[in-house]
Amino acid sequence: MNKFKILIACLVLGSFGCAKEESENAITTQESESATTSSTLALDEGVTLKNLPFKFGAAVNVNHMKSRPEYRDLIIKEYSSLTAENAMKIGALHPAQDTYNFTDADYLVNFAIANGKRVHGHTLIWDSSLPAWIKNFQGDYPAWKKMFELHITTVVKHFKGRVASWDVINEAFDDSGNIQNTIWRQHLGPNYIDMAFIFAHRADPAAKLFINDYGHENGNSRREGIIAYVKALRAKKVPIDGIGMQFHTRYNRGTSSWTKAINETAATGLLVHISELDIAVNPEGVKGYVPTAERITQQAEAYKTIFKLYNAIPKAQQWGITTWNLTDNDSHLKSRPDYPLPFDANYQRKPAYQGILDGVK
């Protein structure tokens, strides 16, 4: 990597302001004028993250894709895999019992195919982002099972052959590693997880199927519970292919925590997807926080460490690493404020970008 020369520019001070954002997808004047505090990185423009030895992805906002040329251009240039940030969640895809709305999800999938990107579906079954009709659904066990199966089958068949993989089950476990008492468990029992994988596999036998959850790197209980449950699914021949580790982490979480999470998950022999990566530099949520050059460098080292650890697991198990959106200004953490992604508010590469490259040398 000697051909890369790093130029750390001066800190650009700014803030996002304190006005309340009208909605997640709103594009405001304040957003366009705000500046993320970060150091920027000058690199050979011929180098892109889409050429990493495994898929590098982002969870993307379809409204931004439609309205921001810079956003689309960055996706095309840097990423090899796309996940829908919100467009494939139940509330977006299935707003009423007899109504499906595939408009935004189809836009994303068609864009990905046109630009040679893989698509990872997120998510078939979750206890959040539920439409009112599911929350208020009346019926006995057979009625719930029929509704559950119909949703999964309809969605997966719609994208069959175009979506390579799915987060079939999202955030089903608690911090103790036990299955949460979600609306699905209340009406279908704990075997709803088994059923979801079976129905998804029937709808598209070629799609890779994942269980996705957070906190793998935060402690042992949740991770151990998930791994034990996945092993039990495999023993029952339930068609599960991989584990998604969200990795909403922080610059100072620690190498040992990341190492245990990645290596113990890889030890299952299943596909491993770091599915929602971002690395906070203001985990305490200090108001008006402006990161120092030292903190930005620490973030870059954290990216390097995580990518190095992931790159060391067997290649056949590497489904890829996906960040949760593209730039600091698109992050779900921006109002804290925080600056957790490899690109700043102006779509420029941060030192974290070089950290990623260094991690896969």
For helices 293-311 and 351-359, the axis angle rounded to 10 degrees is: 20
Say if CB 210 and CB 164 are below 8 A apart.
no
C-beta neighbour count of 5 within 10 angstroms:
9
Contacts of 154 by beta carbon, 8 Å cutoff, 6+ apart: 94, 100
**Which active-site residues does the annotation give?**
171, 213, 276
Say if CB 241 and CB 270 are below 8 A apart.
yes
Residue type, 186: Q
**Alpha-helix residue ranges (DSSP H) falling in the chain:** 29-33, 62-67, 69-78, 90-93, 103-114, 132-135, 141-158, 183-188, 192-203, 220-235, 255-266, 293-311, 351-359
C-beta neighbour count of 110 within 10 angstroms:
12
**CA angle (346 as vertex; 342, 351 as ends), nearest 5:** 30
Contacts of 210 by beta carbon, 8 Å cutoff, 6+ apart: 165, 166, 167, 168, 240, 241, 242, 243, 244, 271, 273, 275, 319
Nearest to 351 by CA among 360, 341, 361: 341
